[in-house]
Structure 1
């Protein structure tokens, strides 16, 4: 005979509590998928709730608007990770060239090769129509990322490994290959005929080599 502790009714409160605690992450995962698939404007909160398996009213208990839902997605998938990445830059013991290589590979493994990279395409296509959303993304993602890249480049200059360059403009040179990969992954990279044409890690290796050939200090001519 089953005991009270093993009966289905006894397990229900605990299961409900676990379900309630997991709802925000389930809603954010559903929202990320839909934002990437359909864009911000075309995504309806009803669709997010349906994909997460809850009612629209339940969604609004956690996120009072679609704008707040978008901000939460950005913070969870991108903005919330800069402390981790900053600590890695601080503790890195190799050369600045190795740090740049590590950083670009790490971006692909943690962001570029995930659904989160689709946010890049979303922002490039819809920022003009949603200036407040664009300003939020600029403050939470773009500016911290640029600061991180500039720290890597400044590290190389300070150690005599990189030539002195305009750090602000050089940051765009480092960023461009990553934006290309994000756009590629969520457009032609999904097509069976083109998905195998480009190896992302080999592409990044080539881009790092090109960057370093331009950044490295060269001996003065005799």
Structure 2
């Protein structure tokens, strides 16, 4: 295809994915309130009318971003949690490795910052993020930890609280990167942060004789 030809001459089946990919970038850069459908259409290389063929509102576009662009990454984490047959420490190391990879290689951080910053004015964003991502991922981690407790690999405690403790430093590192690094703060290396947190977490949670 000639470089000057618009993207909307591609197969119609490609358009929703192109729009979602563009919306992910625009939301991460501008936030929800400032993002316009015109911006998303321009980034996708389609007309604004083409966006309306697939999505009625900007909120519908956000829901599609969560479903198509972000949820598949977290589905991989849930699959690891539900299928890992080995020792619990190996499971947690693999889990955090994948989480850091997703945080570093996608626009997840920018969209997370948007949801946190704009949830008061747009509570539906927080509800979608919680119901489609957070609740499912946290639930899978909670179940994996509870199973490890039954096997004697993890000491007694609220497995849901343990699950939150596991991911919170990584999420805080992502929010730090998105919020403070652009204004001059010293960044944290997410891989190093995850490694140090992992050993601290495992030392506190593992049962006697489990390593």
Provide the TM-score with structure 2 as the length reference.
0.87
**Unaligned 5+ runs, structure 2:** none
Give runs of aligned pairs for residues 46-65 of structure 1, distance below 5 A: 46-65=38-57
Cα-to-partner distance string for 1:31-71 (whole Å, 9 max, x where unaligned) = 11111111101101111111111111011101111010000
**3-state DSSP class of the match of 2:46?**
coil
Say which of 16, 20, 23 aligns to 1:31: 23
Tell me by how many angstroms 1:104 deviates.
1.0
What is the aligned-residue RMSD (CA, Å)? Answer: 2.3
Q: Is the 8 A contact 2:23 2:40 kept in 1?
A: yes
CA contact (8 A) 1:174 1:211 kept: yes
- Residue-pair matches, total: 204
Runs of 4+ residues over 2 Å off in structure 1: 15-18, 77-91, 110-113, 187-195
- The TM-score with structure 1 as length reference comes to 0.83
Measure, in 2, the Cα distance between the counterparts of 1:83 and 1:114: 15
Larger radius of gyration: 1
Distance in structure 1 (CA, Å) of the matches to 2:184 and 2:124: 37
Quickly say closer, same or farther: Cα 1:34–1:83, change in 2 above 3 A: closer
Structure 1 counterpart SS, 2:85: coil
2:116 matches 1:124? yes
